[in-house]
């Protein structure tokens, strides 16, 4: 449920064309904040490599015991029960218009070798992947 919630947040951000047919992209919304804010975040800006394998500011948020967002940043705040990491990557076959969105959710604990590489999923974790394509506004 937490992974799906983050995907919906990311999918709701602007990624389309304006009335003249020019691309419009949200690269500043902070989806780690509660409520999200229009500035101070990364929106749908392409993520650096490794964001599923490490807590990367702008591509991670922390969830408390009641499902409340506790914010983002490189270090989990006190009270964190779940960690949500996400990546935003241009689709290689259509990099200007299509994004691949991935979200990884896990309990706030050491993941060992699972954080090496591209964010391997352990048995009690969730990882969802979807695409977002530009559409006319």
Q: Which residues contact 83 (CB under 8 A, 6 or more apart)?
A: 55, 60, 62, 63, 76, 105, 106, 107, 108
Residue 43: CB atoms within 10 Å = 20
Helix/strand/coil for 26: coil
The conformation of residue 92, written as its DSSP 8-state character, comes to: T
Q: What pLDDT, on the 0 to 100 scale, is given for residue 121? A: 76
Q: What pLDDT, on the 0 to 100 scale, is given for residue 123? A: 81
CA distance linking residue 87 with residue 30, whole number of Å: 14
The dihedral built from the CA positions of residue 31, 119, 81 and 5, taken in this order, carries a sign that is positive
Strands 135-136 and 15-17: parallel
The conformation of residue 8, written as its DSSP 8-state character, comes to: H
Tokens of 72: 């983002």
What pTM was estimated for this model as a whole? 0.91
Q: What pLDDT, on the 0 to 100 scale, is given for residue 66? A: 95
Q: What pLDDT, on the 0 to 100 scale, is given for residue 47? A: 97
Cα separations in angstroms, 107 against 62, 122, 129: 10, 11, 19
Per-residue pLDDT of the chain (137 residues; tens, 9 = 90+): 999 999 999 999 999 999 899 999 999 999 999 999 999 999 999 999 999 999 999 999 999 999 999 999 999 999 999 999 999 999 999 999 999 999 999 999 877 777 776 556 778 899 999 999 997 65
Q: What pLDDT, on the 0 to 100 scale, is given for residue 114? A: 73
């Amino acid at each position: 449920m937490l992974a799906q919630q983050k995907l919906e947040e990311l999918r709701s951000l602007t990624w389309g064309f304006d009335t003249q047919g020019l691309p419009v992209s949200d690269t500043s919304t902070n989806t780690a904040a509660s409520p999200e804010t229009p500035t101070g975040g990364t929106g749908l800006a392409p993520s650096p490599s490794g964001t599923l394998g490490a807590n990367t500011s702008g591509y991670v948020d922390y969830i408390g015991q009641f499902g409340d967002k506790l914010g983002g940043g490189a270090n989990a705040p006190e009270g964190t029960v779940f960690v949500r990491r996400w990546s935003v990557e241009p689709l290689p076959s259509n990099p200007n218009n299509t994004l691949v969105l991935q979200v990884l959710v896990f309990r706030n604990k050491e993941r060992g070798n699972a954080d090496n590489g591209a964010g391997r999923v352990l048995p009690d974790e969730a990882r969802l992947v979807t695409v977002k394509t530009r559409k006319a506004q």
